[in-house]
Chain A
């Protein structure tokens, strides 16, 4: 059974930093690209970052580029998201998601999420 378990969320002041983790199990982690997707309090879904299976390639939307860094440790089956210069608009539930491909790129498995609140 595919499982993704996020951790590391919390309350951070604006301008602060935080690192999220996602422990993966039930599949060959090193064979899949992985992503972070967030859901705002207004329930809007936003793609945050993607990393290739080997970790060589990373992708970000402009809203987080330069502030967030996605990384992975395939030996530990763990995905990370280092977040810095945090803003109130980064407040959201952060989901780790496995990226699949079959005539489209999609998120086929999601964790339960970890909550980030950015507030003074």
Chain B
């Protein structure tokens, strides 16, 4: 199985600053020029919400302050400028190989 390691496990970022979350895969999640890596946001009591798909594509309706980058085994989610409503847990997920797997999550606190 592909193991996704997120770092940090938690971070506190001041309002208006940048939050950067890393996701490292135990093997490449690229195939035929595409990166099968997605990012989700989850707030307490709610299901996960898709933010980014295929590493860098912004899901419809998601604010442009969210961005994703990376390829192969190293991926990053950036949020800039951070707003209060961005307080949540963020998960990466790979769909290049069965079984689909998720990272352990990164909890973002807004200072």
Please, which residues of chain B bring their CB within 8 A of the CB of A104? 34-38, 53-55, 57, 95
| Chain B residue with the shortest CB-CB distance to A44 | B104
Please, which residues of chain B bring their CB within 8 A of the CB of A105? 36, 95, 100
Q: Nearest chain A CB to B53's CB is how many angstroms away? A: 4
Please, which residues of chain A bring their CB within 8 A of the CB of B70? none
- B63 contacts the other chain (CB 8 A): no
Question: Is the pair B50, A103 in contact by a Cβ cutoff of 8 Å?
Answer: no
Q: Is the interface of A mostly helix, strand, loop or mixed?
A: strand
Please, which residues of chain A bring their CB within 8 A of the CB of B102? 44-47
With A43-B89, A44-B104, A47-B101 as contacts: A107 and B48 at CB distance below 8 Å:
yes
Interface residues on A, range: 20 to 34
A62→B38 CA distance, assembly (Å): 22
Interface residues on B, range: 20 to 34
A sample of 10 inter-chain contacts (CB < 8 A) reads: A47-B102, A61-B1, A95-B48, A103-B34, A104-B35, A104-B54, A107-B48, A108-B59, A110-B49, A112-B47
Binding site for B on A (CB under 8 A): 37, 43-47, 50, 59, 61-62, 95, 100, 102-108, 110-113
Task: List 5 additional contacts besides A103-B35, A104-B54; criterion CB under 8 Å.
Answer: A44-B102, A45-B91, A45-B102, A103-B53, A106-B38
